[in-house]
Structure 1
Amino acid sequence: MKKKLLLASTLIASQLFADSINFNMVEKNPTRISPNTNNQILSFNNSIKDSMHSIVNISAKRHVSASMDNLPLQMFNDPFFKRFFGDQFGNQFKQNRIQRSLGSGVIVSKNGYIVTNSHVIENAEEITVTIGNDTTEYTGKLIGKDSDSDIAVIKIEADDLEPIKFGESSSLKIGDVIFAMGNPFGIGSSVTQGIISALNKNKVGINRYENYIQTDASINPGNSGGALVDSRGALIGINTAIISKSGGNNGIGFAIPVAMVKDVVTKLVADGKVVRGYLGVVISDLDNELSKVYNHKSGALVLDVSQDTPAFKYGLKRGDLIYAINGKKIKDRAALQNVVASFKPNQKVKLEVERDKKNIELNIVLGNRNTLAQIESNNGRILGGLRVANIDPNMQKQFRLAHDSKGILITDVEPKSKAEKVGFQAGDILLQIEDVEIRNYATIESALKKYKNTHKRVYVNRYGQTILLVIK
């Protein structure tokens, strides 16, 4: 049976202010031990019991327009289930309904800031939070979310909460004993145990920025946004997804590492959004054949350079192999993407590049991804409520597109938006806006500027047929 990528439901935590969170760090490089007498029982209760008080249940309520025959979405009360089964369904039986989803979150400050997955609170109109086994309900306020990393922060009005302690991503090792904590389905806090199966997983196909911890601890629907902790109870990741054939747990779960969590949460608390640096290249990994023509055997290979981008301005060329940034080794395409995104716009970085078997250095001032990526970003919406993305093999599989499909894909239509009322559907491929043929994000940006505040004819490909829609 074909594997399906399942996201365990999560809820995000609270709106943070930069000065209200003090990441309480545990000691680096802990000593690892094992039982050494016949009269010892290996138990981690004392280590993890405090962390359990930091786990919350999140309930999100939203109005959606869904197909009557969309059985997977109705059968599984998960806010992101459409990503697993495909987004395009017939609209002949559409009806408005209220969708409720459950997930988990982690308290990160005494005064009520909570971190969770972005997909847990996606489009939520009401967010309700309960802590541990306490039935007291709190209203959650969204502080900020970053769909590219699948992290969000919410806040509840409460004092003297028990924030979780933070671990260090750099000290993790494969084989470490870990625990997945969550509050699934509102039945109270629970813990499952496993080990770190792998680190730095980045080809899962869930988010733009991936650097996952893989674990065999059970992460089930409702556990998304919960805590992955080490044997001291220190947070090392936020539980996010599983790979499963049936929807149950098959021992392949993924968590966002704590280093990325801290970086994104800090930015969301300070600004309510995440602004990333931008380079402007199309990149790929080295394979066995390509590595024969390069001295360096790891790095990110530049396949193309977009015009009017920092990469173009400062001299990157097609065929360059980027093997380090500011002295940090770049292993592959995903590593380059994550490192560039960790810098701020207008920040100067030094790229170490192999070109024609010679090593050169390029000093580049990064651009602002949010400027051009308001269209490209998962956070940005265009044409009255559309999210769009480049078509890649993952998109072809997710939306059941033809293998030769190319262009810009509508990945989501905001419920009750102008775009939904006009008739746009997730899975439509943008072909043309008025007289501008849509080939990439730049052509969308050009068309929207050219026909700003006017009614526009938009041509889309839907299941192989061209459809014309008009929207202002």
Structure 2
Amino acid sequence: MYRKISILVLLLFTLGGTQAYAAIPNVTTEGKPFPSLAPMIKKVHPAVVNIATFSTQQYRNNPLLNDPFFRHFFNIPEQQQQPQQQPQKRQQSAGSGVIINADEGLVMTNYHVIKGSDEVQVSLADGRSFQAKVLGQDAELDIAILKIKADDLVEVKLADSSELEVGDFVVAIGNPFGLGQTVTTGVVSALGRSGLGIEGYENFIQTDASINPGNSGGALVNLAGELVGINTAIIAPSGGNVGIGFAIPINMAKASMEQIIDHGEVKRGQIGVGIQDINADLRKAFELENGQKGVLVTSVLEDSPAKKAGIKAGDVIIAVDGKTTGSTGQLRSQIGSKAIGDKTKLTILRDGEKLQLKVNIAKPQSAVSAEGKLHDLLDGVQFAKDPEGNGVLVANVAAGSIAAYGGLRPNDVVVAANKRPVKDIASLQKALSLNKKAVLLQVNRRGGSLFIVLR
């Protein structure tokens, strides 16, 4: 009976669909229009673009075709040796981007959208397409800035992403699966997400607005149509959207953009501290209040900005410029979003007392000892004395350095180098001198041991 009723209802809507939908009012009983995102979407729509990238691959013939015995055995004619190279093949991928400066033709997208491409093409909502120039990228944050030469562009206004709160409504706009511009809605599910291993600097906005392949680089806007984030990743254990998407806060992306425009690259600074997340045992050991969030300072480098500002090992950093800090990943992102030469205000806990300290952001120091540089492959790495005496502590690893790409992380403890045990900087330097072209490190990380090779 239920099935028959369903079919009857379906037929009624199919045969008389026009009349049925025409009967639905578009205003309330008071004559007011129903709430709609349409006006805001119409304003933002022209500022969101589709991005196509093209790369060239060279395919070579199998080298066995050059072997006379192989050709004779399989009766391959001589002329099939040539050509040595087959025609080039072009590959295309699709993503999204946002116009953030209409006058200059600047478009912001994800670095992974344009990575490895020979040509980038930007298609506007009005149907026009333009070849784009890549001004620069920030691989650690996953941001790239493009430039197109076009008239009558529309830009989106940038919001202050630090004002976002969990529960705020947001709208994701992009080009999922290459279908064309698509709008999905949701809320801010969480803020300050880090430790996901997606990017080098993580402080993500989490949202349940549907984000799918192709949405990368697209806009996450608030209900006022202001850009709050750049959509970048999803967690998809089943292969599809499950309501857990991540966007880069626009404040972080804007900081990278300004450096790219001014210098063509992003140079991040540091303050010179070793840091560690606070767990229940550390909270108890340092007599912190139950539930207290922050980041524990494990070491302070000599002659560093932190040392000069008065920061000490055992301090707990709880805020940067008044913004709460809850994890090492979040602190790295807060410091990493500032330019070298900037000043920042840290709020710390020391023996139960809150202190405000101003710290300069300085250039990353290279790995050096009293005798000089340790190794070329360790440029951008800062070492400190391990408090427990098990080896040499990695205090900081500069973003974009060879060591960072090789997998070395802050708070790793180097216990061996090039198969030689390491107890201090002197023994580390002696072990590193055994090989100038490569470095084999054995490190302890969170109770486990692993090997890292740098070349």
| TM > 0.5 fold call | yes
- 1:188 is paired with a residue whose SS is coil
CA pair 123-176 structure 1, distance change in 2 beyond 3 A: same
Distance 2:54 2:302 in 1: 43
Q: Which residue of 1 aligns with 2:316?
A: 321
Amino acid at match of 1:260: M
| Equivalent position to 2:148, from 156, 162, 168 | 156
Q: Which residue of 2 aligns with 1:281?
A: 273
CA pair 112-407 structure 1, distance change in 2 beyond 3 A: farther
The normalised TM-score by structure 2 is 0.66
Per-residue deviation, 1:320? 2.3
Distance 1:127 1:245 in 2: 30
- 1:259 is paired with a residue whose SS is helix
Unaligned regions of 5+ residues in structure 2, if any?
A: 1-26, 60-87, 368-378, 382-396, 442-448
Q: Which residue of 1 aligns with 2:52?
A: 59
Amino acid at match of 1:322: I
Q: Which residue of 1 aligns with 2:115?
A: 122
Larger Rg: 2
Unaligned regions of 5+ residues in structure 1, if any?
A: 1-34, 67-95, 394-404, 409-429
CA pair 349-231 structure 1, distance change in 2 beyond 3 A: closer
Asked if the contact 2:97/2:218 (under 8 Å) is kept, the reply is yes
Distance 1:230 1:338 in 2: 23
Residues 1:388 and 2:403 are matched in the alignment:
no
Alignment of 1:55-134 (within 5 A): 55-62=48-55, 99-110=91-102, 111-132=104-125, 134=127
CA RMSD of aligned residues (A): 4.2
Per-residue deviation, 1:301? 0.1
Amino acid at match of 1:288: A
Asked if the contact 1:182/1:224 (under 8 Å) is kept, the reply is yes
| Equivalent position to 2:338, from 340, 343, 348 | 343
The normalised TM-score by structure 1 is 0.64
Q: Which has the higher contact order (CA 8 A, sep 6+)?
A: 1
State the Cα deviation string for residues 39-98 of structure 1 (Å, max 9, x = none): 6533211111121111111122335799xxxxxxxxxxxxxxxxxxxxxxxxxxxxx976
Q: Structure 1 vs Structure 2: percent identity of aligned residues?
A: 37
Residues 1:147 and 2:148 are matched in the alignment:
no
Amino acid at match of 2:237: K
| Equivalent position to 1:44, from 37, 46, 60 | 37
CA pair 351-41 structure 1, distance change in 2 beyond 3 A: closer
Residues 1:172 and 2:167 are matched in the alignment:
no
Distance 1:301 1:247 in 2: 37
Per-residue deviation, 1:460? 5.6
CA pair 468-302 structure 1, distance change in 2 beyond 3 A: closer
Alignment of 1:68-467 (within 5 A): 99-110=91-102, 111-132=104-125, 134=127, 136-292=128-284, 293-295=286-288, 297-306=292-301, 309-311=304-306, 316-325=311-320, 329-357=324-352, 364-369=359-364, 376-380=397-401, 387-390=405-408, 432=418, 456-458=436-438
Per-residue deviation, 1:226? 0.3
Distance 2:242 2:398 in 1: 31
Asked if the contact 1:275/1:370 (under 8 Å) is kept, the reply is no
Amino acid at match of 2:329: A
Distance 1:290 1:124 in 2: 47
Q: Which residue of 2 aligns with 1:74?
A: none
CA pair 45-364 structure 1, distance change in 2 beyond 3 A: closer
Per-residue deviation, 1:317? 3.7
CA pair 63-302 structure 1, distance change in 2 beyond 3 A: farther
